[in-house]
């Protein structure tokens, strides 16, 4: 039985952005992935609310962002690999206060959380009135900023860096050099930005976004409620995916391009092919290839019925050199709701049962 509830990490406003070459499915060789179900991971009872897509590291460890059903603000990142699990929580950030978890990015040695918080522990009490009555809520009097909080692979907190002011940040990635990529909305200039930030928080450059990644940007006053909501929706569609020593930068609901950002900050732009009538819904973490999850623009984001036409979802391997589609991935056996990642030729997915036990699915 699959997970009872699955949420998406980003708003899938699937549209027709960008330019690409188009091919028919008949022109692309198919390769079948026969998924097998492993034993339940011992000692792990996972929340029924899981944010997808999952993230994976080069050593095949899967990371899931889970929410407490009764309190969506209560977020725990769970790492699963080698029949064991470990947890990462913003509650472990002891030197920041009133922490709001925004997103995360794992590597084999570091897990980074993007959070909004304050350094000030002092609070004042405010009365908050809702339809259910009034209550007293403690609110910090300190200045709120965006931070990157760092953990080692065992879940031990290792400190934070402060991000530049003036942005509403949404995603982070870690380059193999130790620098960070951070996407955010520059309210003063009403534009999306991707910054490169050094390991100590100093600005280290800007990744220029091509026009297709900026389509749908909000208009009007930068600080108006409508503009803020539109910018949040837009920024939620710009994601990072690890690939070898680089990070891939792409946009959900687009037909490309994909930006490959190297450890030193160099950028290579690749226009991709897309099957007719489909857009990019996910770019899977992979160690030696690009794997695109494509979806029809009209298909609901939480669809969990993989099919071989674009009435639903399909997966294709992409040539990193020229963006061409090299093989169409069909599925059999214990077919998952969604494929999470690839590691050294093995594709990984997951499911949970009615008791929230966690099972890894794998195929070669």
Residue-by-residue DSSP string for 12-41? -----BS---B--GGGS-EEEEEEEEEEEE
Q: Give the mean pLDDT of 144-151.
A: 96
Residue 161: name the closest of 206, 122, 195, 189 by CA.
195
CB 165 within 8 A of CB 145: yes
pLDDT at residue 352 tops 60: yes
Q: Give the mean pLDDT of 136-150.
A: 83
Which tokens belong to 306? 């993989």
pLDDT at residue 175 tops 50: yes
360 band by pLDDT with thresholds 50, 70 and 90: very high
Domain 5-122+136-363 has CATH 3.40.190.10: no
Encode pLDDT of 227-264 as tens digits: 667 777 788 889 999 998 899 999 998 887 999 999 99
Q: Give the mean pLDDT of 176-180.
A: 95
224 band by pLDDT with thresholds 50, 70 and 90: low
Backbone angles phi, psi at 236, to 5 degrees: -70, -15
pLDDT at residue 15 tops 50: no
95-133 exposure pattern, b = at least 16 Cβ within 10 A, e = fewer: ebbbbebbbbbbbeebbbbbbbbbeeeeeeeeeeeeeee
CB 291 within 8 A of CB 317: yes
Encode pLDDT of 292-319 as tens digits: 999 887 544 443 333 333 346 799 999 9
Q: Is the peptide bond before 128 cis (omega within 30 degrees of 0)?
A: no
pLDDT value at residue 147: 98
Q: Name the residue ranges covered by the structural domains of the chain.
A: 5-122+136-363
> Which stretch of DSSP H or E encloses residue 344?
none
Spatial distance between the Cα atoms of 286 and 209, rounded to a whole number of angstroms: 23
Which tokens belong to 224? 């108006």
The percent of residues in the chain predicted with pLDDT above 90, rounded, is: 50
CB 338 within 8 A of CB 349: yes
171 band by pLDDT with thresholds 50, 70 and 90: very high
């Amino acid at each position: 039985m699959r997970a009872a509830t699955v949420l998406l990490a980003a708003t899938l406003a699937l549209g027709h952005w960008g330019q690409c070459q188009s091919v028919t499915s008949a022109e692309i060789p198919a390769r079948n992935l026969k998924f097998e179900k492993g034993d339940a991971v011992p000692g792990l009872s996972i929340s029924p609310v899981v944010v997808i897509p999952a993230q994976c590291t080069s050593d095949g460890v899967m990371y899931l962002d889970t929410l407490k059903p009764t309190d969506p603000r209560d977020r725990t990142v769970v790492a699963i690999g080698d029949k064991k699990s470990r947890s990462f929580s913003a509650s472990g950030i002891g030197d920041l206060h009133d922490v709001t978890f925004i997103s995360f990015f794992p590597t084999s040695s570091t897990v980074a959380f993007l959070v909004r918080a304050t350094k000030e522990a002092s609070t004042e009490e405010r009365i908050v009135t809702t339809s259910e009555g009034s209550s007293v809520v403690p609110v910090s009097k300190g200045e709120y900023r965006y931070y990157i909080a760092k953990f080692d692979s065992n879940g031990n907190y290792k400190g934070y860096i402060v991000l530049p002011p003036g942005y509403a940040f949404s995603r982070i990635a870690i380059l193999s050099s130790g620098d960070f990529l951070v996407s955010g909305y520059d309210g003063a200039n009403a534009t999306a930005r991707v910054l490169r930030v050094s390991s100590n928080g100093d600005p280290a450059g800007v990744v220029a976004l091509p026009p297709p990644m900026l389509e749908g940007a909000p208009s009007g006053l930068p600080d108006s409620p409508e503009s803020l909501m539109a910018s949040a929706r837009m920024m939620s569609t710009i994601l990072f995916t690890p690939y070898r020593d680089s990070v891939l930068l792409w946009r959900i609901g687009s037909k490309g391009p994909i930006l490959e950002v190297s450890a030193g900050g160099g950028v290579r732009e690749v226009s991709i092919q897309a099957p007719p009538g489909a857009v990019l819904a996910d770019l899977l973490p992979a160690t030696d290839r690009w794997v695109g999850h494509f979806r029809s623009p009209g298909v609901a984001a939480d669809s969990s019925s993989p099919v071989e036409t674009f009435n639903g979802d399909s997966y294709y391997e992409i040539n990193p050199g020229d963006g061409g589609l090299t093989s169409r991935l069909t599925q059999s056996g214990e077919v998952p709701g969604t494929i999470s990642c690839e590691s050294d030729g093995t594709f990984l997915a997951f499911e949970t049962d009615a008791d929230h036990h966690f099972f890894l699915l794998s195929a070669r």
